[in-house]
Structure 1
Amino acid sequence: MFLPAVIAVIFIIFIKDQFEFSAIGWLSYWFIPIFCLYQFMRTFVWSPLNAVITVGLIIVATLVGHYQTAHTKIRLEETGNRYFRDANGQEVPVYKKVVTAQGGRHYLYGWLMILGLQLVIEGLYLHELTSIDHLFEAAYKEVAADVLIFYRLTGARHSSWILWGLTAFSSLSYTLFLAHKSPMAKMVLFGKKTYKHISEHEERGTH
């Protein structure tokens, strides 16, 4: 009874997060694709067939990443978590600028596309048994890997170079398309500390 409850909570958190604005940061937007890309290169075995499969994965992942990013909303938020007292003793808040993104339902659709492709690969190429239990387990592992970053480090998610590549290419394409879409996101993702002026028109366009 305890495990199903934990799984349900993780699913709820994952879905809920896609409809909230969360900070764009290095850990979730760079670590995941870089780590998965490393695992892909470590497990990849060269052959003409594998090269063709890799090209196919890159094309599909790029299309999904572009679709997800096209519907992602980005905004610049100011949070006042500190303050100082002026000469009159009044509290003056110090605002911290945070660039946030909201994937929404289209991000979930893209995630389901990647999950579906993963199941097809497991069934046809890796010859793993596909059943209701297997589908549920695969979905749970994908959600756990997205919600709990350390889960990817355990090696429990999968060991196939195809699945590592699928995750790496889709995550990387989403990050790069996001940086291309928004100067605000680009500043954060590429480590620029100085904020440029973002016009009102552009900020509205990302909503």
Structure 2
Amino acid sequence: MLDGVGILITIYFIHDQFEFSAIKRFSYWIIPIFTCYEFVTTFKWSTLNGLLLSGIVVFAYFVSRYQAMHTRIRLEETATTYFHDAAGQEVPIYRKVVTAQGGRHYLYGWLMVIGMQLLIEATYLHEHLTAHRVWTAFFEEIMADVLSFYRFASADSHTSWIIWALTAATSLGYTLWLAHRSPAARRTLFNQMAFTRVAEEEDQPKR
């Protein structure tokens, strides 16, 4: 799909990594959960598979940590409305949003994951790599990052557990590393910013 649309989507994806975007629980958890499920349903235990899985986990550990440690995180406060106090002064009400910017280091890590995927396909899955296959893998990962549901739509029953494991480990690792290094990100990712106020229970009428 090396055409104008593909090139524009690629440019958008690269540009988007240098913009701050809101950290949302759904988008950061849906891919790890989905790919972990696919991995569990396709993985068959053997000594070789166990060794391969260990290597993938170690690789994902370092790549996801590298990406997360270089991700910029900030808390943005935006006034969306206001109220008047007793003196008639306008008092703004701020909406707090935790945002992140992956930057070039996220792209470097992302390219390392693509490279590992292609290496696995060539060595373990014995697929013949061509320029078309490299571009296809590259573009599919871009689409999956830009549109989360694309990974669901492109899921294939013949996809190797190794690819599911690689995607699951790197995406889950990135989410957990962000939560580890930033209290603000952790509160958002684990829904710790929500609160509930319960008024005193009213007296119930006697029967």
TM-score (norm 2): 0.87
Deviations 1:40-83 (A, max 9, x none): 11111111111110110000000001111111111100112233
Q: Say which one has the larger Rg.
A: 2
Q: Tell me if structure 1 keeps the 8 A contact 2:2–2:135.
A: no
Deviations 1:147-188 (A, max 9, x none): 011101113477111001100000111111111101111111
User: Following the alignment from structure 1 to structure 2, what is the Cα–Cα distance between the partners of residues 192 and 175?
Assistant: 15
How many residues matched? Answer: 194
Q: Secondary structure at the match of 2:74?
A: strand
Q: Secondary structure at the match of 1:98?
A: strand
The residue aligned with 1:64 is 63
User: Following the alignment from structure 2 to structure 1, what is the Cα–Cα distance between the partners of residues 171 and 188?
Assistant: 17
1:172 matched to 2:156 = no
1:36 Cα deviation from its structure 2 partner: 0.5
Cα RMSD of the aligned pairs, angstroms, is 2.0
**Bigger helix share:** 1
User: Following the alignment from structure 1 to structure 2, what is the Cα–Cα distance between the partners of residues 61 and 110?
Assistant: 10
The residue aligned with 1:159 is 159
Q: Secondary structure at the match of 2:97?
A: strand
1:102 Cα deviation from its structure 2 partner: 0.8
User: Following the alignment from structure 1 to structure 2, what is the Cα–Cα distance between the partners of residues 74 and 190?
Assistant: 16
Identity %: 56
The residue aligned with 1:199 is none
Where structure 2 has 5 or more consecutive residues not aligned to the other structure, the ranges are 196-207
Q: Secondary structure at the match of 2:113?
A: helix
1:88 Cα deviation from its structure 2 partner: 6.7
Where structure 1 has 5 or more consecutive residues not aligned to the other structure, the ranges are 196-207
Amino acid at match of 1:170: T
The residue aligned with 1:121 is 120
